[in-house]
Structure 1
């Protein structure tokens, strides 16, 4: 998976000012990046997952994920926000780093679980969280996540 997260799928200094704006940005970029064919369907998948419970983790990180037939290939889209936004999270703190997972419906039990568990494990490591916060270089952020996926 060493090049799974592409530099082109990392957006830094995003002005999105709410969870809803972030989810729309993720949905639109999923189509622009070629992961999906229908932004509205991707957004509906994100919204359905958000309705099930918090995707905000701790320390300002969130892992929204969408599973949909509209998603044609798995991917990760990362957004670092200019300012934290309200997002239901385990520690009730706002979110400023979003690592979203895009998974085709047919891979929901395999790719999805593997990606989600790997990212959750990465977020437990202070070195990973610090590395994500220390840079706004999209290539470096992609590299940090890819290195974690390879562990």
Structure 2
């Protein structure tokens, strides 16, 4: 009985945390852009940046971030070590494991001009230091430019945060059985 109550309290806490995060992003965005930030975010979703059935060899967060960095480096032509350091810089501030088996590792990189989204689905869940102590099997990875593109970054992060508190979105996403299905589903949901 106590365990169920604790799980309910934790779930409410996580949803409240995401709602507060969303409100902060929305407030920041409206004050920064005059609410002009609604862009075609579905354009961030690309088939070549969706990675399915990925194995982080040691099964640790460290190895998962290293693997994510390498995957992103291949697509962006950035240095994998630089990406890994940028992800860890953000991770040191607070874990990007947001509960329900999902993480949103993100990094700010000087050398890019546009926000980029990568979706990584791990074959074996990773211990990520999430608030609910659940292992992560899905990572929505965001790389954003240092200056240009911050509006799009904030819009995307707030929209993604909204989606991730939606149990139906998460359940439907988990039911996608192929890279093509993930691509179509996320693209449609972010329109």
Equivalent residue number for residue 179 of structure 2: 138
Taking only aligned residues, the RMSD between alpha carbons, in angstroms, comes to: 1.6
Task: State how far apart, in whole Å, the 1-side matches of 2:42 and 2:153 are.
Answer: 17
Are positions 1:18 and 2:60 aligned together? yes
1:27 equivalenced with 2:69 (yes/no): yes
Name the one with the larger helix percent.
2
Counterpart selection for 1:7 from 21, 31, 47: 47
Provide Cα deviations, 1:62-110, integer angstroms capped at 9, x if missing partner: 1010111133432111111111111021212111111111111114642
Q: Within 5 Å, which residues of 2 pair with 1:1-151? A: 1-16=41-56, 17-34=59-76, 36-107=77-148, 109-150=150-191
User: Does structure 2 retain, via aligned residues, the 8 Å contact 1:42–1:70?
Assistant: no
Report the alpha carbon displacement of residue 132 of structure 1 after superposing the two structures with TM: 1.6
1:131 is displaced (CA, Å) by 1.7
Q: Tell me, what secondary structure is at the counterpart of 1:66? A: strand
* Residues 4-26 of structure 1: per-residue CA shift (max 9 Å, x gap): 21111111111112212221222
Q: Which has the larger radius of gyration?
A: 2
TM-score, length of structure 2 as denominator length: 0.72
TM-score by length of 1: 0.89
Distance 1:124 1:98, change over 3 A: same
The Cα offsets for residues 34-66 of structure 1, whole Å up to 9 and x where unpaired, read as: 2x5222211111000000002111110010101
Instruction: Flag the 1:109–1:74 CA change in 2: closer, same or farther, 3 A.
Output: closer
